[in-house]
Amino acid sequence: MYADAAASEHDTDSDLAAFHDPVPETGEEEQDTLFPLFVVTNPPGTVSVTAAISGQLQQIQLSAQASKMTESELGHEIQRTAAVAIKKAQAGLNYFVYSTLVKQGMDHSSARNFVEFGMHLPNIEQAKEAEADFVAQYRRE
């Protein structure tokens, strides 16, 4: 089995921690999903956004504290949180497509180039950077 150093960077457990199904709340029906969901919560915990691997938003949850925000502030917060959730989901799709192509026999470099430049999908490192920038914005505010 062939593996290059760049490919093994994508195979760490911490990078794959984003591949999880959120635990349903009491009273919610558990849904079987074919692909993982990506959940991002803003640092104050007022907004949580769930995105599917396609980048489509699945759910937006607001805490009771969100009612203290103005409509404009809340809208802006949802947009910022959703942008990070979408980027994480797209990075998950990058990994999924990349892994599938490699399993089908495509070399690592060609598969990586295809998903990042042909499909314009962010990689895991770019998604982590977006999330770190998102958190850093709160430290500056």
Is 3 part of a structural domain of the chain?
Answer: no
Asked whether residue 96 is assigned to any structural domain, the reply reads yes
What is the pTM for the complete model shown? Answer: 0.73
Q: Residue 15 falls within a domain, yes or no? A: yes
pLDDT value for 2: 33
Q: Is residue 70 part of a domain?
A: yes
pLDDT digits (tens, 9 = 90+) for 28-57: 444 555 678 999 999 999 999 999 999 999
Is the per-residue pLDDT at 138 higher than 70? yes
Is 27 part of any domain? yes
Evaluate whether residue 54 is within a structural domain: yes
Give the domain range for residue 26. Answer: 9-140
Q: What is the Cα gyration radius of the chain?
A: 17
In a domain, 2, yes or no: no
- 4 vs 46: which has the higher pLDDT: 46
Q: How many domains are there within the chain?
A: 1
* Contacts for 15 with CB less than 8 Å, ≥ 6 apart: 9, 95, 124
